[in-house]
Structure formats: structure tokens, C-alpha cells
Amino acid sequence: MDRKVELKRRLRDLVNAQPNHPLHGTVTAVNGDTCSVLIGGLELTDIRLKSTTGGDNRLLITPKIGTDVTLLSSDGTIDNLTVIAVDRIAKLELKEADFRLEIDCETKKLGFGNSETNIYKLLDDLQQLLKQLKVYTPSGPSGTPLPDSIARIEQFESDFKKILKPI
């Protein structure tokens, strides 16, 4: 009998014997909302990263490749395994109704917002406004900010772009 088929059969027997017994493995690949996991020399594919497939509203925790994960099957078969715990994440995405949040550990950036705007756009608009800010004075409108103010605004822009991302 083929080694892979035999390992699958043994794993299926193990999971069926204890349907609530968690399995531990190592992530070898990620593809959207599924991943591949290595368990005892056997690589299983199409492991779900969230409870349900499809749909726009979701919480998706994408594990880093090479990290340890814990899996559980809701029906006791290896065809229905879902990641229930992750040691290290690459990305966390939350979409609920009109709200979106993304934490990207690979780029070390954060983004959140809704269909109308997001935090990156708001701060980018603010720094553009500050660079062109003019006020009324007794002798008429002022000029644009002085060079030292522009330098501080540009530092503000550089700083927020280091931690925020557009979504």
C-alpha cells in the first residue's frame, strides 16, 4: 500500500476514534483562506484557516510558514480540519459589514477603515493640508508654512507611513 494512503488511513482512524482530539503540525504553505500542514511526515492540504469558507465577513488569521498550529476536525475526518490555534501569524484580517482591519506582521503595518475612508487616507490628507495651510492675517492671507514646519510635517508623514497601510 502507498505510504501516503496508509498514513491518511491511520490518521483518519485516529481522528475518528477521538473526534475532539487536536492535532499539531507545521504550516508548509498558505493559499488564501486555506493552508498545507505537515503532520508526522504527512502533508495535508486545503486545511481551513477559518470556520467557514467564502463570504465577505470574516476573521482570517494567516499563519507564518514554518509555524506550529493546532488543528481540529468538526466531524472527525481529516477532510474537515480547521486551524484553531497559531503560534506565529503573518497577517490578521477582520471584515465585518462595512468595517475592515488588517494587521500585517510581515510589513509591520496596520490599516483600518470603512468604505468611505481609512486611517492612512485621513493622515495623508492631513499632512497635505498642513503643507499648504494658509491663515488670514491683517495684511492678507499668509504664505505656506515655514521650512522648519514643512520638515516636521514631512517627518510626521514619514512616521505614519512606517506603521500604517492603505486598505
pTM of the model: 0.78
pLDDT bin (cut points 50, 70, 90) of residue 141 is confident
Residue with cell 514554518: 66
Position 56 pLDDT exceeds 80:
no
pLDDT of residue 77: 82
In eight-state DSSP terms, residue 79 is: G
CA-closest candidate to residue 124, choices 155, 157, 150 = 157
Count of CB atoms within 10 A of residue 137's CB?
A: 9
pLDDT of residue 34: 93
Position 18 pLDDT exceeds 60:
no
- Domain covering 3-96: architecture: Beta Barrel (2.40)
pLDDT of residue 4: 73
pLDDT bin (cut points 50, 70, 90) of residue 142 is confident
H helix runs in 18-146, sequence order: 119-131
Return the domain boundaries, the chain. 3-96, 115-163
Catalogue the long-range contacts made by 72-75 (C-beta closer than 8 Å, 24 or more residues apart). 72/20, 72/22, 72/23, 73/15, 73/19, 75/19
Position 73 pLDDT exceeds 80:
yes
Digit-coded pLDDT (tens) for 78-127: 888 999 999 999 999 999 989 999 999 999 999 999 999 999 999 999 99
pLDDT of residue 59: 92
